[in-house]
Amino acid sequence: MQGQWTRKAKNGLNIIFIHGINSSEDCWKHENGSYWPNLLSDESELADIGIYVFSYRTGINTGFYSLSDIVDSLREYFLLDDLISSTGVIFVCHSMGGIVTRRFLVNQNSMLVERGLNKIGLFLVASPSLGSEYANMLGLLSSVMGHTQASALRFSQSNVWLNDLDKDFINLRANKDLQIRGKELVEDLPLYGKGLIKKQIVEPFSGAKYFGNSFKVPGSDHSTIATPANKDAVQHRLLVQFIKDFLQEEILTPKLDGSLKGQTEKQEQRISKKISNFNLQGAQFAGGLVNADTVNANQIGGNITNYNPGQKQNLAQAAAEIEQLLNQLSQTYPTATTSEKMTVVAKAVDEIESNPTLKARVIGALKAGGTEALKELIDHPLINILLASIDGWQEAE
């Protein structure tokens, strides 16, 4: 029971593999030796993502080690291995791993939002969101063996734990505190051909519950669906495409949430006041100078920059995003000593550099107004240190 890094992220996005019941990290391994996390690490276009494999105690002899205990374990490893510092995470979940992850997201919603980790992907692989009739068949054995994990997977109106999770997860998606996007793969065949079990372990009505465009993997059963043979296997190709789309839409092109949008509008208003609220009494202007990009006038105490609308919007948005980033990091890490302040600033610089869109916006703001403009717009005690660290970016471009 542990978490293991295949590699750490360079761009802030971590992919977390979580296996199912009566299984282990070997559930991702094909009989030819191919291992899904390794297939993903070999994708050259995704060289900057982190890959993490979480495993937990499960099996017929786990007794009263329950789903809730597994969720607690995931929370602790999420903190111990610093997954909480991710810009975004995608959970790749087989079978019961999807149930563990959904309960984790419901339970830890507030912590994730407070830490600024609200971009979540769910790639569910034959996950019984509503339970499994196969677990019903094993109900007597589960009771005799005290296998609480299997009991929690029953498809039944009396399965209060799982039915409550279904309702809680639907409500979590509706409140949009977490930006959750997902993909669901469902199995095609019964686990043992057409023998005693004539249905899939996870039937489509249970495995395709929350997200549109679910996909039945041809020829797969409950086990083989999680073991792509090579990079051309359809489930692997779908995962790669899901990650690329997530990167483009959630990480590289971040959306403004409501608070950041309002903050940007306030910054634009401050810029407008900065442009127009100078006391020009007694100032002397040479002919035509007022139409220049910058008006140099000693009598008014400084320069007036005539920003065009695009520069004004970019400057405001850059200031809002930098201020939000510094606020988030200051809530997460201590800033009492000079060393701690420098650490927070270094993390902020890393975050900006790992986000090409934000870095371009910051460079554009520096070119338009310089560090002085950003100092006036950003209300945070660490802004001077941060600007000293990135001063010169605009000249390097």
Task: Give all domains of the chain, ordered by start, each with its CATH number.
Answer: 3-251 (3.40.50.1820), 258-280+290-396 (no CATH)
pLDDT of 228 strictly over 80: yes
DSSP E strands, 86-209: 88-94, 119-125, 179-186
Q: What is the mean pLDDT of residues 360-384?
A: 89
Tens digit of each residue's pLDDT (9 = 90 or more) over 310-349: 777 788 888 889 998 998 888 778 888 888 888 889 999 9
Of the candidates 79, 175, 177, 77, the residue with the CA atom closest to the CA atom of residue 119: 177
* Average pLDDT value for residue range 194-204: 50
Q: CA-CA-CA-CA torsion for 105, 327, 358, 347, nearest 10 degrees?
A: -90
| pLDDT tens track for 248-269 | 888 765 444 555 555 566 566 6
- Sign, CA dihedral 258-263-264-265, equals positive
pLDDT band, residue 32 (cuts 50/70/90): very high
Region at 82 (left for phi over 0; alpha for psi -120 to 50; beta for the rest): left
Give me 338's structure tokens: 């000079």
- Position 59 scores a pLDDT of 66
d(CA 69, CA 83): 19
The model's pTM: 0.62
372 band by pLDDT with thresholds 50, 70 and 90: confident
